[in-house]
């Protein structure tokens, strides 16, 4: 049977990473943790310095499931390169459970059986966001369970998936299958300090523009905004930059 692999992106998540890892290990067969900042994200070091790596190392010795830690000697060139680091390490046919270091996956009754038999490339679960006073706010999330197919990779942003030919497979608001009744994500990012939260807002606002519900992508080469649909080949109409596979070569795997 194909595995369910937890794929976790982290950078200075010491306050929340243990909860994230333990909850992910309860539902996944193994976990890949990718650490480090993006080149254009505020950072003083190319790896976490707040105890995140030490916590991951501790759990690597305590749990009975495999945990792989991936680091890099330099900052990741982009969020897509960082996410493609775990895509590269997942075996073809296995399912990737995509989680950030401040989140916890919640699989309810019947979720595991439905996930494993599905041929869909992506699921869009409900996202349960915990507010500053503990209130829960339900909203849509990004593709969180993705079957690793030959050549599948992220491009343009952290939720757009392309096939080996550079054609768009999946991005919101489109979805191939939803599992709102059995798969949710607890998002605790509101517990982060104000400076970190502001850095996140500024980073994401630079990368995507929304107008009348239509998403426009920004070219990393010339900063041109353009729209795309499912099945389109990703290519900037201004400079011609395309969205070919971007698996990083320089990985340090523990």
Name the CA radius of gyration of the chain, rounded: 17
Which among 145, 104, 160 is positioned nearest to 127, based on CA atoms? 104
Considering only residues 246 and 107, tell me which one the structure prediction assigns the higher pLDDT: 107
Look up residue 197 and give its two tokens: 């939260």
The pLDDT mean for the chain works out to 77
Q: What is the CATH number of the domain that holds 38?
A: 3.90.550
Which residues on adjacent β-strands are paired with residue 168? 162
* Short-list 235, 107, 123, CA closest to 170: 123
Range of the domain at 77: 4-193+231-253
Q: What is the pTM of this model?
A: 0.80
pLDDT digits (tens, 9 = 90+) for 139-148: 555 778 888 8
Q: Above 70 in pLDDT, residue 170?
A: no
Residue recorded with tokens 């201004």: 238
Residue 205 lies in a domain: no
Split into its structural domains, the chain has a count of 1
What percent of the chain has a predicted confidence (pLDDT) above 70? 66
Residue 8 phi/psi, 5-degree rounding, is -120, 125
51 versus 138: the higher-pLDDT residue is 51
Residue 213 lies in a domain: no
Give the whole-angstrom CA distance, residue 66 versus residue 29. Answer: 8
Q: Are the C-beta atoms of residues 129 and 102 closer than 8 Å to each other? A: no
Residues 45-81 pLDDT 10s: 999 999 999 999 999 888 788 999 999 999 998 888 8
Residue 205: how many other CB atoms lie within 10 Å: 9
- Within 26-102, strands assigned E span 30-35, 67-71, 95-100
Q: How far apart are the first and last CA of the chain?
A: 25
Is residue 156 in some structural domain? Answer: yes
Grouping H, G, I as helix, E, B as strand and the rest as coil, residue 145 is strand
Domain membership of residue 218 (yes or no) is no
Tell me whether residue 224 is in a domain: no
Q: What is the pLDDT, as a whole number, of residue 246?
A: 57
In a domain, 201, yes or no: no
Q: What is the pLDDT of residue 168?
A: 77
**Residue 67 domain-assigned (yes or no):** yes
Asked if residue 68 belongs to a domain, the reply is yes
């Amino acid at each position: 049977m194909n595995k369910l692999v937890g794929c976790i992106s982290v950078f200075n998540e010491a306050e929340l990473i243990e909860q994230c890892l333990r909850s992910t290990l309860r539902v996944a067969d193994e976990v890949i943790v990718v650490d480090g900042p993006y080149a254009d994200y505020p950072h003083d070091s190319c790896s976490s310095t707040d105890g995140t790596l030490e916590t991951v190392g501790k759990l690597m010795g305590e749990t009975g499931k495999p945990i792989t830690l991936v680091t890099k000697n330099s900052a990741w060139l982009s969020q897509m390169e960082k996410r493609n680091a775990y895509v590269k390490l997942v075996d073809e046919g296995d399912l990737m459970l995509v989680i950030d270091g401040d989140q916890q996956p919640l699989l309810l009754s019947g979720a595991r059986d439905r996930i494993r038999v599905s041929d869909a490339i992506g699921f869009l679960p409900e996202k349960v966001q915990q507010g500053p006073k503990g209130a829960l706010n339900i909203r849509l999330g990004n593709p969180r369970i993705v079957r690793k197919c030959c050549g599948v990779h992220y491009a343009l942003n952290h939720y757009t998936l392309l096939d080996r030919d550079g054609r768009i497979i999946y991005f919101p608001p489109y979805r191939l299958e939803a599992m709102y009744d059995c798969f949710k994500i607890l998002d605790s990012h509101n517990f982060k300090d104000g400076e970190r939260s502001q850095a996140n807002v500024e980073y994401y606002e630079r990368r995507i523009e929304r107008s009348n519900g239509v998403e426009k992508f920004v070219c990393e080469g010339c900063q041109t905004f353009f729209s795309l649909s499912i099945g389109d080949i990703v290519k900037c109409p201004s400079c011609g930059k395309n969205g070919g596979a971007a698996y990083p070569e320089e990985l340090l795997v523990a």
